């Protein structure tokens, strides 16, 4: 009979090897798959359904960028686990990025870089047990509540998108509103009139 200690060592070695393994396309095993053309088309249709005046070319581009950026960032962040397990790895320094705030920040940058004329990109923070950050796409002039949450974090690098008003579990609020409230609370606790901070 093999001693338990030897089994544990063998299992740890197997895990270490599998973490480095790649499939024939050179993508690490466990990396989420890219979105399909059908996935992209569904998001495009949802963006167009936000209301009149949205340029169909921009809707198509926003949908494609959302899915392509999600997959590229999953590779950059070295995502091979669930969101919560990956968070632990980022926090202990074994993975580079991939917290929800990283996803939100990088997705916002990718989408804003498209310089849409008929769409707006928002940032939001919600809270269930812990804070969660996301990017949101809306029709130009509409609030984030009339938009679509673009969230690659919650399924560990597979894009989740959902109309903001239907995504009730997080209680989304504009990021600046949340940060202003926290700055006011901190200023009060420190006996200051206010605390200035920069939102990037």
What pLDDT tens digit does each residue of the chain (200 aa) get?
A: 555 555 444 444 444 434 444 444 555 667 899 999 999 999 999 999 999 999 999 999 999 999 999 999 999 999 999 999 999 999 999 999 999 999 999 999 999 999 999 999 999 999 987 899 999 999 999 999 999 999 999 999 999 999 999 999 999 999 988 877 777 777 677 777 766 656 65
Q: What residue spans of the chain are helical by DSSP H?
A: 4-20, 37-48, 56-76, 83-91, 100-112, 175-190
Q: How many Å apart are CA 139 and CA 142, to the nearest integer?
A: 6
What are the sequence ranges of the domains in the chain? 26-172
Q: At what angle do helices 37-48 and 56-76 cross, to 10 degrees?
A: 130
> How far, rounded to the nearest angstrom, does the alpha carbon of residue 94 sit from its chain's CA centroid?
19
């Amino acid at each position: 009979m093999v001693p338990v200690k030897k089994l544990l060592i063998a299992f740890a070695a197997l895990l270490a090897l599998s973490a480095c393994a790649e499939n024939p396309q050179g993508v690490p095993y466990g990396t989420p798959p890219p979105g399909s053309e059908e996935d992209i088309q569904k998001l495009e249709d949802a963006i167009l359904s936000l209301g009149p005046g949205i340029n169909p070319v921009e809707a198509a581009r926003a949908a494609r960028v959302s899915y392509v950026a999600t997959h590229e960032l999953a590779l950059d962040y070295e995502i091979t686990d669930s969101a919560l397990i990956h968070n632990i790895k980022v926090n202990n320094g074994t993975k580079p990025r991939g917290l929800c705030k990283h996803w939100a920040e990088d997705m916002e940058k990718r989408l804003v870089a498209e310089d849409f004329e008929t769409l707006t990109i928002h940032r939001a923070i919600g809270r269930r047990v812990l804070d969660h950050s996301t990017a949101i796409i809306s029709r130009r002039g509409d609030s984030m509540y009339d938009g679509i949450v673009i969230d690659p974090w919650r399924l560990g690098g597979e894009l989740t998108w959902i109309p903001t008003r239907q995504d009730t579990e997080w209680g989304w609020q504009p990021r600046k509103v949340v940060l202003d409230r926290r700055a006011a609370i901190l200023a009060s606790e420190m006996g200051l009139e206010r605390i200035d901070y920069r939102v990037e």
